A and B are shown apart, each in its own frame.
Chain A
Amino acid sequence: MSRSALITGLGFITSIGNDATSVSASLRAGRHGMVVHPLWDNPNVAVKVAAPVRGFFVDSASWRDWTWPERYELPRETLRSLAPHGVYAFCALEQALADAGLTKADLTDGSTGLFCASAGSAFMQYHHLSQAHAGNFERGNPMGVVSAIAGTLNFNLAAHYGITGAVTGFVSACASSSHAIGYALDEIRLGRQERMIIVGAEELNADTILPFAPMRALSVNPDPATASRPFDSARDGFVGTGGAVVLIIEEASLARRRNATAYAEILGWGQASDGHSVASSHPEGAGLRNAMQRALRDAAVAPAQIDYVNAHATSTPVGDRAEALALRAVFSDAGARPAVSSTKGLTGHGLSMAGAMEAGFCALALREGWMPGNPHLVNPDNSCDGLNLPRETLSVAPALVLNNSSGFGGSNVCHVLRRV
């Protein structure tokens, strides 16, 4: 491919920090974002730990009650049609634009596209539907649909920023924002767009997180320090988190013309489905193995060249085991031993946001020269035999990294990123 894509801007609103500097510091220090956090006013709910975003109040269904850090100017006409996670997304996007040295005016000529990923807002949907039912659907908030359904991010952000290029959303659950990154890379490679903005965001509230409890997917460990421990033999489920992460990627010649400082190059991507279960991973991670191999092939990189893998591992018994087996098939069987870690041990699992969040972490690691560890890992599961799972952050600069994501229905997406 003659056209390549560089990451030139990042924005983070996460449980471990609300800007790149604090996120990087948390990752390097192994500092997690979990607290005992009642998601529902009911002591009988077994789930006790979550990883909230700090500095925002978006727990009300009325935008008039919401607060966010003062430095972001969020106009009321934009605010009124947002979901709570849209507020996070707006702030992360403002941050990423400033980081890339861009303004709103740079986004309107049709050469910039916007791909977003979130599950929508079950919280807002519930509120608006209750209100509309009570009013026999004669009375209801006109913004009820656009603030709640999946797609709320792309509707709102495209309108606010006047983006006239390719705009859409991706819905593959926990692989959603990874799909957004992959297809954004294709938009640039195919010459359709010069710049793509990728947004992943989710809410942390009962309506988003607790429906995973009856699936037995959430940790009921009440200790914030150990509830999320990917690859550990004592793991018992994931810890929910919310927030937003934005990546701005630009065609390399445009980035150079603008003298933009790049974090990393997105070298290639691959996807494959398990074709196996609606919600459970393939027991041997077959789809994820194929997705990794396709991403490596697309990037023309051999397994032995990968220095670090940011694993999807969410701390669920079934998912982490499947990923460990897939990693062994791709790397151990090829005689390769990259460092592997799941940063969800620190952040919690951001669902649709996870892929973009972790691609952002990989970009920081590539530019700053370190690799995140697995600080909550004590006794690795026996499925991890032969994998290199460092506990502490490694002060070693990676040249090539692989970022894994998996979602419901067995969707698996992987990206290869390269130091620039």
Chain B
Amino acid sequence: MASDNTPSAPAKPKPVKSGPLDKFSAAVRDAHARFLATGDIDALDTVVLAIVRDHQPAEARAATPAAPPDSALLIGDLGFDSLALAEIVFFIEDLYQVSVSNEELMRITTVGELRGFIRIKVASSGASSQPPSS
């Protein structure tokens, strides 16, 4: 057996554990917990908008309101490029264990489209223990 040559179990790297939202505000973490427990879609919205803002380039962030209108273009108005959008989507995929295809990603151009898309995607995934409340 291969393990005969191994004096001890394979070691793991020193654990440096952090949850994906650890560095976000308490309000965002609370909203995340509330969505998971109750399916409150407004709470999900709070989390999604915080994630968008967290990934926004510093200059564009300083020039845009904390709660951008649904019509705001992600690429253009909010200063994102396609790679940064892919990062936002990956963050959300990882947080709620959903998958977003390239085709779906290409259709998202505004804040409103992102919010709407995530609502449908996450609500239908069973990430929350309750059906959507609104």
Residues of A whose CB lies within 8 Å of any CB of B are: 38, 40-42, 44-45, 59-62, 64-65, 75-77, 80, 135, 138-143, 205-207
Contact = CB atoms under 8 A, between A and B. Distances in A.
A59 B8 CA distance: 24
B83 A65 contact: no
Nearest to A127: B13
Instruction: Give the top 3 A-B pairs by smallest Cβ distance, nearest first.
Output: A42-B11, A142-B86, A60-B16
11 contacts: A40-B11, A41-B12, A45-B11, A75-B57, A75-B58, A76-B55, A77-B58, A141-B87, A142-B83, A142-B87, A143-B87
B107 interface: no
Interface string B13-56: 11110100011000000000000000000000000000000110
A77 B16 contact: no
B106 to A, nearest CB: 14
A12 to B, nearest CB: 26
B14 A139 contact: no
Contacts, number: 57
B77 interface: no
B104 to A, nearest CB: 12
Nearest to A80: B87
Contact of A41 (B14, B23, B93, B99): B14
Nearest to B23: A64
**Chain A: interface secondary structure?**
loop
A77 B57 CA distance: 6
B72 interface: no
B93 A139 contact: yes
B7 interface: yes
B84 interface: yes
A44 B57 contact: no
A62 B23 CA distance: 11
A92 to B, nearest CB: 22
B58 A76 contact: yes
Given A42-B11, A64-B18, A142-B87, 7 more contacts: A64-B22, A76-B55, A76-B58, A80-B87, A135-B93, A139-B93, A140-B90
